[in-house]
A and B are shown apart, each in its own frame.
Chain A
Amino acid sequence: MNESKPDLSPLLPDDAALKARRAALVDAVDPSRKGRPPAPGRGRRGLRLALGTAMAVAAVALALILMAGGDPTPTAFAVEPQEGGGVTIKVYSLEDASGLEKALEDAGIRAQVTWLPPGMLCREPRFTPSIVKLPGGGSLSGFNAGGPGALTISVGSTQRLRERFREHRRGEISDDDYYESIGTVNLDPAAFRPDQSVVLFGSPKPFDGDPEGGYEADFQIAEGPVEPCRPISAAAGSIGSIATPPGAGAGASHPPAPAIPGPGQFLYTKTKVVQLQGWNPTGRGTDPRSNQRHFTANLLGPEGEALPALVPTLKEVWMDPEGKTRERETLGRVEFFSADDQQRWEEAGSPPPFEYDPSKHEVKRGSSGRPVKEFASRSWRGRNAFAYVGKLSRLPTEPGALREAIENRRGSGSGAPAPADSQVGAATAERLIEILGEPVTSAALQAAAFAALAEIPGIELQRGVTDAAGRRGDAIAWDRERGFGRRLIFDPRTSRLLAEAEVIFDAKAAGYPGVPDDTVFRETAYLQSGIVDSDHERPPDAE
C-alpha cells in the first residue's frame, strides 16, 4: 500500500504558493488589520521608544549654538587658543555637532560628531577601531566621558605638552592651570595617520539629579571610513554594544560555509528544554478527560487539579541530510513550586511527567537512573531539511535589509521597525529568533539578526539573567499578549544566543494563577551543535 502511494506533488502548493496562501489566510482571519499599519500595542514593561520619532527629534536637535558674549544660552563648546600654539576645546555638549567637527578640523583633527536625543545610541559597528599615540605618552583608543562639566579636548604638539608638564613640576603653573591646559584628552595632530579620525557621539544625561544638565559622550579613534550614525534606542543599543560576534565587524568578509551534514553525516544538537507542565496526582499521570497519558500545561488552572511544575529535559537530536532524526530525551529533576506539591507527587509514586506513547517511544532508565525517551522522528522541515540553509545564506547581513527581507509586511511598508508587541513586529522578532537559534547560521548573519532584533522598539534589557543551563548572560525581553512575553539570553562577550524562552510575566493575565510571575513557560537553552559521523556519536567537546 505504501509503495502504491501516488505522487501528489503536482497537486500540492509550492513554496511561493504556500506563502501567498498564508498571506491570504492571515488576512482572512484577521481582517481588522488589512491594509492598515499595526497599531502600537500597549505594554506593561520595557522602553517604548518609537524610533521614527526619535530620529526626527535628532534632526531637529541639531540647532545650536556658539555663544556670543552675554548670551544666556548655554555654550555647546568653546575654543580657546593656547599659549605657544594649539587650542583647547571645551565641550559642554555635542549639540552643535557640525560646528565642533569644524573646530577640530581647524585644529588638525578629522572628526565625526553626533549628538543624539536622550536614550539613543549609534548602532555599532560602524567603523574600525584604532589607536593613536598621545603626546603625554601612552596611546589612546577611546574613552567615555560625561558630567555637567566640560569635556576638554586639547590639541597641540607633544613638544608643547612636555613644556607644560615641566612647568607644572617646577611649580611655575598651578594644578588647575595645568589640568585645564592638558584637558580631558590631549591630541597631537601629527600622531594621526591620514586615515585616522575621531568619532565622538553623545546624548544629554541627567547628572546629580538635574535632568537639564549633563551629557554623556563616547570618544573613539577610528581608522578608515566611518559610517554615519544610525540611531537606535539605548535599551537595544546597549545590547548591541555588549559585543559583536567575531567576524562581524565593520569589515566583515564573507561568512564561513555553514555546517551541513554531508551524506552519511548527522547534525548533532543538544538543548536543554524547560517546560511548565501540569501533573495530576489523582489520575496517576492520566488526563481524566481523554484517558490518555498526557501531561501538559493545559491541565493547569482552575479546571485542572494538576500540580504545576517546571520539567527540564536534555534533548539530543541527530539529523541526517534528509531530515530524519534520532532523538533522545533525558528527564531532569522536576521542580515544583511548593514543598506540598512535591510531597503529593512523591506520594503518588513520582511517575515521569512527560508524554509516553509506547507505539512510538522507547522509555528506559539512563545511567543516571533518570528516564530516557528515545525515538525516531522527522524534522518538521520535511524531506529537504537543509534547503533553508540556502535561504539563510542569501539573507542580507545588513540589519535593516535583513529585517525588511523577512518582514511579513503587506502593502506599502514604512522603513521603521514595527514595535515588538504589534503583530508584524512580533512575527519579525520570531523569525529573527529562529535565525539566531539555527546551528548553521553564519556569524555575520547572527550579528545582523541580533542588531535587527535590537532595533525593534519595545524591548527591554535585563542584565545578569541565568538561563536554564545555569549560564549567566544579558537578556532582551518583551511583552506579548495575555501576560506572556519573550526573553532571549545572550552571552555578553560573544553575543551568542544562549537561550530563548517564552515567559509568563503576568501569571494572572496569562490564566495560570497557580504559578508566580516571571515563570518560564518554555525555555530552550542551546548547549552544543556539530557535525558527527553516526547517529550515536557526539562532537568531541561534548560534556
Chain B
Amino acid sequence: MADDLQLWERTRSGDAEAFGDLYERHAVMVQSYCLWRTADLQLAEDSTATVFLEAWRKRRRLTLSTDSAAPLLLGIANNVVHRQWRSQRRYRDALERVRNVGQIPADLEAEAIARVDAIRQLRSGGEAIRQLPRREREVLALLAWSDLSYGEIAEALGLPIGTVRSRIARARTRLGDAFPDPTEPRPAEEVQ
C-alpha cells in the first residue's frame, strides 16, 4: 500500500491522483480539526478544501519529514483557520467547484437535527479551550483533535518541541484537570 511519503512525493511531481489519495485518507481528520476550531459546518468544509488547495499550490516547497502527511496538513489547517478570509478569497473559484459536492440533502430531517446537535455540542464543549490565548489554543486543539505526537505538533506548527511542551503545560494549568495527556508515552514491552 502506498504510504504518505510516496503519495506526497508523487504529489510534488504533479500527480493529482496521488494528491486525491491523500485527500481521501486525511480529509476527515482535517475537517474534524476545522470543525473543532470553527464550530461551523460550512466554514469547516470550506477550510478543509482550502487546506488541500493550499497544500497543492505549495507542494513543491513543502516536504514531509515524517511518515505521515498529517502534521503538514494540520499545520496548513491551523493557518487557514486563523486567516480564514484571506486564503479563501484566493481559492474562491476553486471552492465554488468543490463546495456542495457530495452534500447530504438538507431535507433529511434526522440528519439535520443530528448536525445541529453536533454543532451545539461543539460550541459548548470547546468553549473553555477557545477562551485560551491563540498560541496555546492551537497546540491544544492539535493535541485534542488529532493523533499527532508532540514531535508532530512541533512539526505542524513549525515550533521547537520544547515550546510545544511548555505551551501545553501552561494551557493545562489554565484549564485545570479537565485535560489529561492523551500522548503520555506507554512503555513498550519486550518482544520475544
Interface residues of A (CB under 8 A from B): 1-2, 4-14, 16-30, 33, 287, 290-292, 294, 296, 298, 316, 326, 328, 355, 357-362, 374-376, 378, 380, 382, 408, 423-424, 426-427, 430, 433-434, 437-438, 480-482, 484, 502, 521-522, 536
Residue of B nearest to A1 (CB): B179
Whether B5 contacts A24 by the Cβ 8 Å rule is: no
Whether A298 contacts B121 by the Cβ 8 Å rule is: no
Q: Assuming A25-B52, A29-B53, is B18 touching A430 (CB within 8 A)?
A: yes
B117 CB contacts on chain A under 8 angstroms: 10
In the complex, besides A17-B102, A522-B6, 11 extra interface pairs with C-beta distance below 8 angstroms are A1-B178, A6-B121, A6-B125, A11-B44, A12-B35, A18-B28, A25-B52, A30-B16, A291-B160, A328-B191, A430-B17
Whether B63 contacts A296 by the Cβ 8 Å rule is: yes
- CB of B156, distance to nearest CB on chain A (Å): 12
Q: Assuming A355-B66, A359-B185, is B35 touching A11 (CB within 8 A)?
A: yes
Q: Assuming A360-B183, A375-B188, is B9 touching A25 (CB within 8 A)?
A: no
* Partner among A328, A360, A423 whose Cβ is within 8 Å of the Cβ of B16: A423
Whether A22 contacts B5 by the Cβ 8 Å rule is: no
**Cα-based distance from A328 to B192 in the complex (angstroms):** 12
Whether B97 contacts A24 by the Cβ 8 Å rule is: yes
Whether A359 contacts B183 by the Cβ 8 Å rule is: yes
Q: Mark B121-150, 1 if CB is under 8 A from A, else 0.
A: 110010000000000000000001001011
Whether A502 contacts B121 by the Cβ 8 Å rule is: no
Whether A28 contacts B53 by the Cβ 8 Å rule is: yes
Residue of A nearest to B128 (CB): A1
**Cα-based distance from A18 to B101 in the complex (angstroms):** 9
Whether A427 contacts B18 by the Cβ 8 Å rule is: yes
- CB of B192, distance to nearest CB on chain A (Å): 7
Whether B98 contacts A25 by the Cβ 8 Å rule is: yes
Q: Mark B142-164, 1 if CB is under 8 A from A, else 0.
A: 00100101111011001011000
Interface status of B81 (Cβ within 8 A of chain A): no
**Cα-based distance from A426 to B65 in the complex (angstroms):** 25
Q: Assuming A4-B125, A5-B125, A292-B155, is B17 touching A423 (CB within 8 A)?
A: yes
* Partner among B20, B27, B149 whose Cβ is within 8 Å of the Cβ of A23: B20
**Cα-based distance from A150 to B180 in the complex (angstroms):** 83
Interface status of B107 (Cβ within 8 A of chain A): no
**Cα-based distance from A6 to B123 in the complex (angstroms):** 10
B32 CB contacts on chain A under 8 angstroms: 8, 12
**Cα-based distance from A24 to B5 in the complex (angstroms):** 23
**Cα-based distance from A16 to B19 in the complex (angstroms):** 18
A19 CB contacts on chain B under 8 angstroms: 24, 102
- Which residues of B from 3 to 27 have beta carbons under 8 Å from A? 4-6, 9-10, 13-21, 23-25, 27
**Cα-based distance from A207 to B3 in the complex (angstroms):** 47
- CB of A87, distance to nearest CB on chain B (Å): 56
A427 CB contacts on chain B under 8 angstroms: 15, 17-18, 20-21
- Which residues of B from 157 to 192 have beta carbons under 8 Å from A? 158, 160-161, 175, 178-180, 182-183, 185-189, 191-192
Interface status of B115 (Cβ within 8 A of chain A): yes
**Cα-based distance from A514 to B136 in the complex (angstroms):** 42
Whether A7 contacts B118 by the Cβ 8 Å rule is: yes
* Partner among B5, B144, B186 whose Cβ is within 8 Å of the Cβ of A2: B144
A360 CB contacts on chain B under 8 angstroms: 149-151, 183, 185
- CB of B168, distance to nearest CB on chain A (Å): 11
**8 smallest A-B Cβ distances: which pairs?**
A17-B102, A6-B121, A427-B17, A374-B188, A20-B102, A10-B114, A357-B151, A30-B16
**Cα-based distance from A433 to B185 in the complex (angstroms):** 35
Whether A20 contacts B101 by the Cβ 8 Å rule is: yes
* Partner among A13, A296, A408, A434 whose Cβ is within 8 Å of the Cβ of B20: A408
* Partner among A326, A358, A484 whose Cβ is within 8 Å of the Cβ of B185: A358
* Partner among B1, B13, B36, B111 whose Cβ is within 8 Å of the Cβ of A482: B13
Residue of A nearest to B44 (CB): A11
- Which residues of B from 52 to 68 have beta carbons under 8 Å from A? 52-53, 56, 63-68
Whether A376 contacts B188 by the Cβ 8 Å rule is: yes
B115 CB contacts on chain A under 8 angstroms: 10-11
